Amino acid sequence: MILLVGLGNPGERYKNTRHNVGREIAAAFAAAHDFSEFRFEKKWKSQVAEGNIGKTKAVVVLPDTMMNKSGAAIAPAARFFKIKPKGIFMIHDDADIPLGRAKLSYGKHSAGHKGVESAIRALKTKDFWRFRIGIAGKRDIPAEKLVLKKFTHDETRILKKISKKTVEAIATAATETCERAMNEYHR
């Protein structure tokens, strides 16, 4: 069983912003694999959908907390489903990776990402899988402003390609191995 977490901020105001790329890709994954409709789970402060990828059961969690409080949603869901950290796949934006690129990593520090920091504190470990989606654009924009910017039309086209690739990599990681997903994802 896996717990797929899409980091982002809740609400229309943040829709299509760079900081919400994880949340949007996780929702796209659930839709692509015919998961249940998202429902609000009060005890996890999250939108939740469930389904299967091959023989692997998966739960998609979209925290309805602000980004820097994501751990308050992730840790209770992981405990409820008895999912060890290695079974947690987190998708989030990464301002250090160029737009159109992505990386799959395991056991890395947060690199200053507040949502990841919150998850590490709540889970008491950094040993989980992270699909890091590049959002970097012009370097003259401070990161705290960049993450709240919406994507341009051209950037949205680029994002759709990496979103599709990420959805495929998550399925590979869930049904085969994360190492195989990493090999395919980093090409």
Please give the Cα distance from 68 to 56 (Å, whole number): 30
- Residue 62, classified by CB atoms within 10 Å of its CB into exposed (0-12), middle (13-18) or buried (19+), is buried
Please give the Cα distance from 69 to 121 (Å, whole number): 10
Measured in whole angstroms, the distance separating CA 23 from the mean position of its chain's CA atoms is 6
CA dihedral defined by 25, 27, 30, 34, rounded to 10 degrees? -120
Active site residues: 19
**What distance, in Å, lies between the first and last C-alpha atoms of the chain?**
27
Please give the Cα distance from 155 to 158 (Å, whole number): 5
Please give the Cα distance from 119 to 90 (Å, whole number): 9
- Which residue ranges form the domains of the chain, and what is each CATH number? 2-141+154-169 (3.40.50.1470)
Per-residue confidence of the chain (187 residues) as pLDDT tens digits? 999 999 999 999 999 999 999 999 999 999 999 999 999 999 999 999 999 999 999 999 999 999 999 999 999 999 999 999 999 999 999 989 999 999 999 999 999 999 999 999 999 999 999 999 999 876 667 777 777 788 999 999 999 999 999 999 999 999 999 999 998 888 7
Please give the Cα distance from 177 to 173 (Å, whole number): 5
Q: Strands 2-6 and 88-98, how do they pair?
A: parallel
Q: 57-101: per-residue pLDDT in tens? A: 999 999 999 999 999 999 999 999 999 999 999 999 998 999 999
pTM (2 d.p.): 0.94
